[in-house]
């Protein structure tokens, strides 16, 4: 791997984004706007917003980063630029790390704006430290990004890539514990939830917002999430082929 | 060889067979591309020219046989900076400018910034501040060509670089190819227009995944007795079918 190529790739991806101001605006504004909507939806039941608002600060960046990275990477695959890069002297991880760096920065910015709005304007209150919630939100953005990079290999068109959102992300959202606590689910579903990365990301967020600290289990959650990010990047690199049929 | 240079060819293929899906698209081709000069790869659309070029660049899965490029197996890591490849559809980032495209690839290749202006001049592309998608198809092809020139490759593989271009631009590009060849680069250029064969030093004539002949334009004329290269190609096909 070469830092020169990784940084060049990240700069190029950010330049592409910069030329598309509408996407930047959508990326940065939508999570905060949705959180505001939820605040007013739960206007009559105080406490509910505090309970789900904290985890959502992290889950929104997960969802948007998943979508944006899977589409961008798919575009790189379908326009021939990926094949061109594969004929050049660079490591596969240079490309993925470049993407990771670029979208990691965007995800961080998005998480900062979302949590800024949540804690500053919407009076979201969490039991634990807001700084930890923000860090976990950044981690969620990175998780969404790495999974998006990986699954983009299985889409041939942008229509397919968009369908991965309901196919791949919604089941994780349903089973992660946000809607129903996992120990109240059918045993089979609870077992499945252990195999889904978002379960761990959500659990860490929930512990900080409800219990006030990560504790032993929460720390384990964070480690599992980091492991999944690295694994997805490695698997993503494995799907980049120098030779194709 | 003519100038007494090393006889080792730039590209040497041996019984090259490629299968895509259920169909065999290259049927055990053996050929050599001499070092220096322009070798034209000619044949009708769909005859396997692109697949053959992908083999030379090392991005094609090969069923059997093999290709050596500049003394190493095609696709070897040490060849990545020495072989430039321009696909038929321009592979450029449409949403950034010409300059941003070239500066990115230059940094990937480790070429310096001055090289970017050089290649922009070589392909006569003066719109380097414009976003690639706002340019015509011909201009985007030239960005793609400029990208391949960045690393000053020893071998340039160009897949139908002049298709759809206006005649003036086609002549300009062929002049560029000739000057690159004079500077010592080996070029492998595919085309389905026979009049471009005239500009090549040697020819590989393909049809239906087979190689009909490896000839110089003059050799092809004397072998078939036809002055017009298009007619010579037809004569060659008839000769093959008569066997």
Q: Which residues of chain A have pLDDT under 70?
A: none
Determine contact, residues B202/B58, Cβ cutoff 8 Å.
no
Residue A146 lies in a domain: yes
Distance from first CA to last CA of chain A, Å, rounded?
A: 26
Residue B107 lies in a domain: yes
Q: Which residue of A has its CA nearest to B90?
A: A80
Residue B175 lies in a domain: no
Q: Tell me if A4 and B110 make a contact (CB, 8 A cut-off).
A: yes
Determine contact, residues A23/A75, Cβ cutoff 8 Å.
no
Please report the pLDDT score of residue B6 as a whole number: 56
- Smallest Cβ–Cβ distance between B89 and the set A80, A86, A89 belongs to A80
Q: Tell me if A89 and B77 make a contact (CB, 8 A cut-off).
A: yes
Residue A211 lies in a domain: yes
Q: Tell me if B107 and A85 make a contact (CB, 8 A cut-off).
A: no
Q: Tell me if A242 and B108 make a contact (CB, 8 A cut-off).
A: no
CB pairs under 8 A between A and B: 78
Is it the case that residue B83 has pLDDT exceeding 70? yes
Question: How many other CB atoms are there within 10 angstroms of residue B66's CB atom?
Answer: 14
Q: Which sign, positive or negative, has the C-alpha torsion A174, A176, A182, A188?
A: positive
The per-residue pLDDT for range B193-240, each reduced to its tens digit, is 888 898 999 999 999 999 988 989 999 899 888 888 888 888 888 888
Please report the pLDDT score of residue B193 as a whole number: 84
| Residues A33, B219: Cα–Cα separation, whole Å | 73
Distances (CA, A) of B24 to A163, A177, A184, B20, B61: 34, 52, 57, 6, 12
Put simply, whether A163 touches B (Cβ < 8 Å) is no
Put simply, whether A1 touches B (Cβ < 8 Å) is no
Fill in the DSSP letter of residue B132. Answer: G
Residue B168 lies in a domain: no
Q: Which two tokens stand for residue B189?
A: 């250029």
Put simply, whether A75 touches B (Cβ < 8 Å) is no
Residue A226 lies in a domain: yes
Tokens 């700069």: give the residue.
A11
Please report the pLDDT score of residue B1 as a whole number: 41
Residue A57 lies in a domain: yes
Provide the shortest C-alpha distance from residue A87 to chain B (in Å).
6
Put simply, whether A22 touches B (Cβ < 8 Å) is no
Residue A28 lies in a domain: yes
Provide the shortest C-alpha distance from residue B81 to chain A (in Å).
6
- Comparing CA positions, the residue from A239, A241, A86 lying closest to residue A149 is A239
Please provide the average confidence, as pLDDT, over all residues in chain B.
90
Cα-based angle B206, B184, B159 (whole degrees, multiple of 5): 35
Residue B138 lies in a domain: yes
| Residues B86, B145: Cα–Cα separation, whole Å | 6
Please report the pLDDT score of residue A120 as a whole number: 92
| Residues B196, B130: Cα–Cα separation, whole Å | 31
Provide the shortest C-alpha distance from residue B201 to chain A (in Å).
26
Pairing type for strands B23-33 and B83-86 reads: unpaired
- In the predicted model, what is the mean pLDDT of residues B25-50? 93
| Residues A35, A43: Cα–Cα separation, whole Å | 12
pLDDT band at B3 (very low <50, low <70, confident <90, very high): very low
Residue A245 lies in a domain: no
The per-residue pLDDT for range B128-164, each reduced to its tens digit, is 899 999 998 888 989 999 999 999 999 999 999 988 7
**ipTM score for this prediction:** 0.87
For residue B23, the chain A residues in CB contact (below 8 A) are none
Residue B188 lies in a domain: no
Residue B146 lies in a domain: yes
Residue B96 lies in a domain: yes
What domain range includes position A149?
Answer: 3-239
Is it the case that residue B4 has pLDDT exceeding 70? no
Residue A196 lies in a domain: yes
Determine contact, residues A1/A97, Cβ cutoff 8 Å.
yes
Domain count for chain B, please give it. Answer: 1
Question: How many other CB atoms are there within 10 angstroms of residue B5's CB atom?
Answer: 11
- Comparing CA positions, the residue from A73, A234, A48, A37 lying closest to residue A164 is A73
Put simply, whether B34 touches A (Cβ < 8 Å) is no
Domain count for chain A, please give it. Answer: 1
Residue B105 lies in a domain: yes
Put simply, whether B76 touches A (Cβ < 8 Å) is no
Per-residue HEC secondary structure of A181-214 comes to CHHHCCHHHHHHHCCCHHHHHHHHHHHHHHHCCC
Determine contact, residues A88/B80, Cβ cutoff 8 Å.
yes
């Amino acid at each position: 791997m070469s830092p020169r190529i990784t940084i060049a790739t990240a700069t190029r991806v950010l330049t592409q984004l910069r030329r598309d101001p509408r996407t930047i605006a959508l990326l940065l504004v939508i999570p905060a706007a949705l959180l505001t909507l939820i605040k007013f939806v739960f206007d009559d039941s105080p406490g509910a917003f505090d309970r789900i608002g904290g985890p959502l600060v992290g889950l929104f960046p997960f969802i948007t980063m998943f979508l944006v990275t899977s589409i961008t990477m798919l575009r790189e695959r379908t326009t021939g630029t990926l094949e061109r890069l594969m004929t050049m002297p660079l490591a596969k991880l240079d490309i993925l790390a470049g993407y990771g760096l670029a979208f990691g920065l965007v995800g961080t910015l998005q998480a900062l704006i979302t949590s800024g709005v949540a804690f500053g304007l919407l009076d979201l209150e969490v039991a634990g430290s807001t700084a930890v919630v923000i860090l976990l939100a950044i981690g969620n953005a990175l998780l969404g990004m790495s999974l998006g990079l990986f699954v983009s290999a299985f889409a041939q068109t942008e229509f397919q890539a968009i369908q991965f959102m309901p196919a791949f992300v919604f089941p994780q959202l349903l089973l992660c514990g946000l809607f129903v606590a996992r120990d109240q689910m059918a045993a089979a579903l609870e077992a499945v939830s252990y195999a889904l990365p978002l379960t761990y990301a959500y659990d860490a967020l929930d512990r900080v917002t409800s219990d006030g600290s990560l504790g032993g289990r929460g720390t384990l959650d964070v480690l599992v999430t980091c492991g999944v990010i690295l694994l997805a990047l490695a698997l993503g690199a494995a799907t980049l082929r120098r030779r194709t049929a | 060889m003519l100038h007494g240079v090393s006889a080792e060819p730039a590209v040497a293929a041996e019984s090259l067979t490629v299968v895509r899906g259920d169909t065999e698209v290259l049927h055990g081709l053996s050929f050599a591309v001499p070092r220096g000069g322009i070798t034209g790869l000619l044949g009708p659309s769909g005859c396997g020219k692109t697949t053959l070029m992908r083999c030379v660049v090392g991005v094609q899965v090969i069923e059997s046989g093999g290709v050596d490029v500049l003394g190493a197996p095609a696709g070897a890591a040490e060849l990545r900076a020495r072989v430039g490849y321009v696909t038929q559809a321009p592979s450029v980032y449409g949403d950034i400018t010409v300059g941003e495209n070239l500066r990115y690839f230059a940094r990937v290749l480790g070429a310096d910034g001055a090289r970017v202006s050089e290649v922009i001049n070589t392909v006569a592309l003066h719109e380097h501040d414009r976003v690639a998608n706002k340019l015509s198809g011909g201009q985007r092809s030239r960005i793609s060509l400029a990208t391949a020139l960045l690393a000053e490759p020893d071998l340039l593989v160009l897949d139908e670089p002049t298709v759809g271009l206006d005649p003036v631009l086609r002549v300009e590009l062929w002049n560029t190819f000739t000057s690159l060849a004079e500077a010592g680069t080996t070029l492998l250029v595919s085309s389905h227009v026979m009049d471009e064969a005239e500009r090549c030093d040697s020819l590989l004539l393909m049809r239906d995944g087979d190689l009909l002949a490896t000839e110089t334009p003059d050799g092809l004329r004397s072998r078939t007795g036809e002055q017009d290269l298009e007619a010579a190609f037809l004569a060659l096909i008839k000769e093959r079918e008569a066997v």
